[in-house]
């Protein structure tokens, strides 16, 4: 693993990011929203490198929510085009950096060629251990919990339902809960992201739009996290 640049600080094992503000970034510059999403994809690539260099082991990225289908068709088409571009052009680089790529969400909603690219990326990088990149697409925290309950109904446990049992039916039960959740773009809500898993996460909000989120912003978030005492409900 790459050497950490801040060994004297606490590094979250799992950091999750809501990558918000692409459209507003573009509109503030007089550009179409689609160009904001393109800039956001470039920021995603840089953030993966930055997270790896800082020693973050799991990085989850909220790329497309279940609610995002409500956007205008031309914007959805642009997002799907960027998704295809990412699967085609970025997986080899991530693999060379020892990244394991995982996709979480209701993946069956995507076109067959996208699903093929998703399966290839997961299989191709499945043996890597430097950093896990969890890309949440067509993901919603409420839907994840509903799906977990439905799985329990199909395969009843024969006893009381516990937190551990329900967790085992979530989309990715082997991934540790996020220690730190970051939201860019100036909004102060979690927008249905990691509702179960984020119960005891620390939160960090920044006004910076996602395309401008770089190493300095990530380091500020980690510095804020390092200065907190996590008590998990204890006094």
Q: How high is the pLDDT of residue 232? A: 75
Average pLDDT of every residue of the chain: 94
- To the query of whether residue 138 is one of the catalytic residues in this protein, the response is no
pLDDT at 5 over 50: no
pTM of this prediction?
A: 0.94
Total length of the chain: 235
Please tell me which residue in 49, 68, 192, 212 is annotated as part of the active site.
Answer: 68
Position 157 scores a pLDDT of: 87
Which CATH number among 1.10.287.110, 3.40.1180.10, 3.40.50.1100, 2.60.40.1180 corresponds to the domain 14-138+177-224? 3.40.1180.10
E strands along 109-220, which residues? 131-139, 180-183, 202-205
Instruction: Give the sheet arrangement for strand 58-65, strand by strand.
Output: 99-104, 131-139, 58-65, 14-18, 180-183, 202-205
**How sure is the predictor about 234, in pLDDT bands with cuts at 50, 70 and 90?**
low
Domain boundaries, the chain: 14-138+177-224
Distances (CA, A) of 73 to 20, 39, 77, 78, 81: 19, 20, 6, 9, 12
Known catalytic membership, residue 20:
yes
For the chain, give percent helix, strand, coil, nearest 5: 45, 15, 40
Q: What is the pLDDT of residues 36-81, one digit of tens each?
A: 999 999 999 999 999 999 999 999 999 999 999 999 999 999 999 9
Q: Which helix (H) or strand (E) holds 82?
A: helix 73-89
Digit-coded pLDDT (tens) for 139-196: 999 999 999 999 999 998 889 999 999 999 999 999 999 999 999 999 999 999 999 9
SS3 234: coil
Q: Return phi, psi of residue 162, to 5°.
A: -110, 170
How many whole angstroms separate alpha carbon 135 and alpha carbon 121? Answer: 11
């Amino acid at each position: 693993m790459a050497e950490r640049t801040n060994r004297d600080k606490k590094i979250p094992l799992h950091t999750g990011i809501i990558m918000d503000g692409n459209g507003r970034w573009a509109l503030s510059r007089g550009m179409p929203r689609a160009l904001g999403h393109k800039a956001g994809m470039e920021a995603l690539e840089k953030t993966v490198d930055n997270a790896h260099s800082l020693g973050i082991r799991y990085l989850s990225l909220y790329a497309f929510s279940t609610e995002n289908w409500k956007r205008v068709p031309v914007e959805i088409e642009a997002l799907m085009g960027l998704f295809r571009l990412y699967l085609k052009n970025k997986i080899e680089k991530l693999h060379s950096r020892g990244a394991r790529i995982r996709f979480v969400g209701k993946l069956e909603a995507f076109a067959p060629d996208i699903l093929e690219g998703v399966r290839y990326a997961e299989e191709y990088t499945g043996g890597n251990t430097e950093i896990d990149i969890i890309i949440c697409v067509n993901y919603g925290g409420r839907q994840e919990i509903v799906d977990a309950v439905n799985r329990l109904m199909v395969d009843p446990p024969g006893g009381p339902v516990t937190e551990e049992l329900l967790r085992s039916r979530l989309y990715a039960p082997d991934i540790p809960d996020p220690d730190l959740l970051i939201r860019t773009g100036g909004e102060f809500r979690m927008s249905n992201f990691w509702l179960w898993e984020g119960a005891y996460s620390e939160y960090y909000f920044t006004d910076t739009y996602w395309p401008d989120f770089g190493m300095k912003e990530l380091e500020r978030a980690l510095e804020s996290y390092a200065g907190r005492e996590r008590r998990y409900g204890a006094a």
